[in-house]
């Protein structure tokens, strides 16, 4: 994990509009892994998540997306018995 453990705020451009997104460093690291695996930029992945989210906030939607992606990697029980 890189950077501070607490929340890190970054600016992202989505559909031509600048917005800020606050995530803990571990989530930024995980987002980078998922974007790299998909061969897209962080912004492109965040854009996909934004387009698919419901009424939840963007930061929450990104965290849930990351959680589900990593759960899928280890199985539906999250690797826990």
Q: Is residue 50 part of a domain?
A: yes
Q: Is residue 81 part of a domain?
A: no
Band of residue 35 on the pLDDT scale cut at 50, 70, 90: very high
User: Per-residue pLDDT tens for 53-75?
Assistant: 989 899 999 999 999 999 998 88
**Statement: the pTM of the whole predicted model exceeds 0.85:** no
The whole-number pLDDT of residue 1 equals 47
Q: Is residue 2 part of a domain?
A: no
Separation of first and last alpha carbons in the chain: 25
**Average pLDDT of the residues in 25-31:** 96
Rounded Cα distance between 27 and 2, Å, is 10
Query: If you average pLDDT over every residue of the chain, what do you get?
Result: 88
Q: Is residue 24 part of a domain?
A: yes
Q: Is residue 30 part of a domain?
A: yes
pLDDT at 34 over 80: yes
- What residues form DSSP beta bridges with 14? 17
Q: Is residue 39 part of a domain?
A: yes
39 lies in which domain range?
Answer: 7-74
Q: Is residue 1 part of a domain?
A: no
- Residue 26 sits at φ, ψ, to 5 deg, of -60, -35
Burial class of residue 60 in the structure, from the number of CB atoms within 10 Å of its CB (0-12 exposed, 13-18 middle, 19+ buried) = exposed
Number of separate domains in the chain: 1
């Amino acid at each position: 994990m890189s950077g501070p453990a607490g929340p890190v705020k970054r600016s992202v451009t989505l559909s031509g509009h600048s917005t800020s997104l606050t995530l803990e460093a571990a989530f930024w690291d995980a987002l980078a892994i998922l974007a790299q695996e998909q061969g897209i930029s962080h912004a492109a992945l965040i854009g996909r998540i934004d387009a698919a989210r419901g009424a939840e906030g963007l930061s929450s939607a990104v965290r849930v997306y990351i959680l589900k992606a990593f759960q899928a990697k280890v199985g539906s029980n999250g690797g826990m018995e």
